[in-house]
Amino acid sequence: MLKKYYVESEKDATSLVDSVRRSAASGVSTSAGALEAEVASIIDAVRQKGDIALYEFTKHFDGVDLSDRGFEVSPAALEAALQEIPHSAVTALARAVDQVRAYFKEQYAAVASEFHFQRGGIDVRFVVRPVESAGIYVPGGRYRYPSSVIMTVVPAVVAGVRSVTLCTPPTPRGGLDPLVGAAARLAGAHRVFTLGGVQAIAAMAYGTETIPQVDVVVGPGNAYVACAKRMVFGQVGIEAVAGPSELVVVADDYAPWDLVATDLAAQAEHGPGGLAIAVVFSEKAAEALNKAVTEEVAKDSRDQLRKTMQAGGAIAVCRDEECALWVVLAAAPEHVQVMMREPARCERFADRINCAGVVFLGSSTPAPYGDYIAGPSHVLPTGGSAKFASGLGVYSFLRYQNYVVNSGISEELEQAAFELASVEGMVAHARSIQRRRSRGEVPFQAPGGAAAAIEDPS
């Protein structure tokens, strides 16, 4: 069922990944030009007409008229959502929130440390500040995504963002999906709106009469949402432009092929356009896996899953681990699963992977753990962007800035600044430095020293 490729060189690996990406993309019919034009027109309408445009687009795309009830979901309705869903679902959501929050608190401690640098009479204080407001987008459509609420809202709240706005498409009856509402309540979203698509991204980026303007917009979505995020970047920050989901499984000859097949199918379940590549080390393994995949897909009645698997699925038969690593690095995928019988070998191989959203080790650790309860956000780089981008985290909502004080600059540093300004031809820069030197400006001091003079605005 899956296309089979043989990899004996780095060139073979690159060719394989390029070929599978092209095949997967063939299932996404809208041309880039037409998509961008439509997205741009929606963004422009929202900027010009505000809420009027939002109501028009919601009626057109979602088939519901919210002009009477409005978009915002009340705190009481979010609380009520907890009563509408099964107790088992509430328990699952609460456990996931607790796990993800604990992880991001640890991450915050690791990435939000500050320091004071003193050298040559220059004092610098490096500080970390959260953005004031964040917009979270959670898609609707084929499935329900309370997990995406948790994976986006929790890191924003842990980062200290004071206003977290969540937008998600309305249900066919115009309300909020109770699972999404319950997740928003448990995760700590401050305001929730039943607004979806490009219009939601535009509303959060530019603000309307109802939707508050934010500093950062994050969250997954379809090609239209991804395009909208790219277009509003600069007006607001974004974490990345996410594309279809991806998985590369590296499995030795002892792997349980029924589990590998299940995991590839789980990846294809995300929908068309993504990758589901299995890397194996023998022809026998390739045959066993193809048989297992065929049986797995036959059990599922969804024709879309079969089409997605055929378009974006592949088996790479590699002569050794070096070739297998080339495939992983060429794909730089969202998820990698390394399924080798010997834990030490599994860990050694995984440690060589330096461009993936998340790496899962061992046959007992599937990517769906990362989707729901492992801890890190499941909003991850796709389309090979893991070569330069990271998954969503508390750092997606943090700013880093410096405070600088002349506490008695050395002659050498002052002369270096003057000389660099002069050779660059920046006459006014040089004059600014020279006048302070000639006047004998008194270095900035305050009770307790230079560091104490820089007060924490929070």
Do the bridges between strand 133-137 and strand 163-168 make them parallel or antiparallel, or are there none, so unpaired?
parallel
Calculated CA dihedral for residues 62, 70, 229, 143, nearest 10 degrees? -40
Active site residue 10: no
Please give the C-alpha separations between residue 263 and each of 15, 96, 217, 242, 250, in angstroms, as whole numbers: 24, 21, 30, 21, 12
Within 296-417, strands assigned E span: 313-318, 335-339, 358-361, 398-406
> Of 296, 334, 378, 414, which residue is the catalytic one?
334
**Beta-carbon contacts of residue 241 (< 8 Å; ≥ 6 apart):** 226, 227, 229, 230, 385
CB-facing half-sphere around the CA of 381: CA atoms within 13 A: 18
Active site residue 334: yes
Kindly tell me the sign of the dihedral angle through the C-alpha atoms of 143, 202, 370, 345: positive
DSSP label at 276?
Answer: E
245 CB neighbour count, 10 Å cutoff: 26
> Of 190, 270, 335, 378, which residue is the catalytic one?
335
Please give the C-alpha separations between residue 143 and each of 243, 303, 334, 430, in angstroms, as whole numbers: 17, 16, 20, 61
321 CB neighbour count, 10 Å cutoff: 17
The two tokens of residue 23 are 């095949």
What amino acid positions are annotated as catalytic residues? 334-335
